[in-house]
Amino acid sequence: MNIVFARGAAELPRLVARIVAEGPLPEGTPALVVEGAQAARFAGKAGQVHEAFVAGEKGLVRLAFAGAGDLSDGDRRAGLERAGGALAAKYLTSGEDALGIDFSGTGFSAQDVVSVLLGARLRSWQFLTYRTRLKDEQKPSLKSVIALGAPEGTEDLWAVEVAVAKGVEFTRELVTEPANVIYPESFVARCQERLAGTGVEILVLDDVQMAALGMGALLGVAQGSVRKPRLLAMRWKGKEGVRPTAFVGKGVCFDTGGISIKPAAGMEDMKWDMGGAATVAGTMLTLALRKAQADVIGVCGLVENMPDGNAQRPGDVVTSMSGQTIEVINTDAEGRLVLCDALTWVQKEYQPATVIDLATLTGAIIISLGHEHAGMFSNDDTLAGQLDSAGKGCGDTLWRMPIGPAYDKLIDSPIADIKNVGPRFGGSITAAQFLHRFIDKGVAWAHLDIAGTVWIDKPGATHEKGATGFGVRLLDRFVRDTLEA
């Protein structure tokens, strides 16, 4: 969806919207429209939309009001994004090709307007690549949103936020594509294509190179698939003279569970088990497009986990790049095996000051937190606070979970240095504790378990059902608030 900034009322289409806070409609609204809104119980609550039809100079005008809720409650962004998203959801397939949002006289700041526009753009994203038999009324008709009366500086702010939107959309695209389209090699190719010309440096390691480096944990997961694994590194060096920050993503492009095979029902969802890697890729696109003043490395460990005759077995012992040996108790606890080698590699190769990994790692985190928050585990209180603040500032919210020595004994192995699963209880915690063993001393680290937030089976305020793009806005806000501050 295109966002256009207009200067005069004559540029508005016949579908015109106003954003209103919770309460009565603005002064000057036609009496019949006010009466109709009251009859429909429209009160300006966040996400409410009321439509009326009025006579204009050039014929019928569709007049819409979108509620932003109580804008004095401290979270203006969320309400305004929800208003923009509600308008996009209502009119995306309305037959109208343009929606005009009139901000004149609202008193909204440039940031307020940008929040509305971002909500509209993100909510309008759909993945229709393989839908060949849509009826006309099902096809998106809305092509542009025209912003009228936006205050000075809005267009400059929007130029930054559109980079965020593109990163979120890229992540959603990668997550939504089926596993016969996106697998390790094609994931790399898609990133190379999308990042071409942005200034991002790309490095790719194949299975032979990873074997030479001793990445036995990652390669053990991949050995059951005909799809060869890849390690993808993307560096945006927008600042010199600082130690880089690393974002590391789990990229299991399809997860059958391996020999510890998953139940058939719902297994098709496991195409999005590469959501952490997709988030890293989308974030790198955002940072490059907005020319972030930061040195950031994005690393994706890319594999498929398949139950072939050559697949890893429960009870196998593998040697990680760090030299630590791992007893594989359950081949469906594969993400941590991929991540541990990717974490070791990025620390040895780039010596980052901070490492943040993202992974659809455990079902246990969904049991704990549902789909409302991602789980956060960290060895550094300052970093945890920064990420928590970034999440609250953009809506990609986190909830800190514990780690510590008490959990270490749960993943000790009798025949190796560590085993890849602990007992039934505390599954997301022991998974994080496993990863913590591969973090070098002095490195600030956070693990984000995003299993419950990358894919949701019902629409949200700024996303259709399916891929959410969770994490791109979070990491971008973290970069803005900490690395560019």
Just list the catalytic residues.
Answer: 262, 336
**Could you tell me the sign of the dihedral formed by the alpha carbons of 69, 75, 76, 82, in that order?**
negative
Report which of 247, 451, 460, 472 is spatially closest to residue 339, judged by C-alpha positions. Answer: 247
Which residues, other chains included, contact 250 with Cβ-Cβ below 8 Å and sequence gap of 6+? 273, 274, 275, 276, 277, 301, 335, 338, 339, 357, 358, 359, 360, 361
As to burial, measured by CB atoms within 10 angstroms (0-12 exposed, 13-18 middle, 19+ buried), residue 340 is: buried
Q: Which amino acid is at 156?
A: D
Distance CA 127, CA 135 (A): 16
Q: Which amino acid is at 1?
A: M
Is 310 in contact with 223 (CB distance < 8 Å)?
yes
Intra-chain end-to-end CA distance of the chain, in Å: 31
Longest dimension (CA), the chain: 82
CA 411 to chain centre: 30
Distance CA 175, CA 127 (A): 11
Is 57 in contact with 66 (CB distance < 8 Å)?
no
> DSSP letter at 257?
-
Q: Give the bridge partners for 97, in sequence order.
A: none
Distance CA 464, CA 170 (A): 15
181 three-state secondary structure:
coil
Distance CA 145, CA 184 (A): 36
Which residues, other chains included, contact 304 with Cβ-Cβ below 8 Å and sequence gap of 6+? 179, 183, 184, 222, 224, 225, 227, 229, 252, 253, 254, 255
**Tokens, residue 434:** 């496993």
Between the alpha carbon of residue 135 and those of residues 176, 306, 466, the distances in Å are 22, 37, 21
> DSSP letter at 460?
B
Q: Give the bridge partners for 327, in sequence order.
A: 317, 419
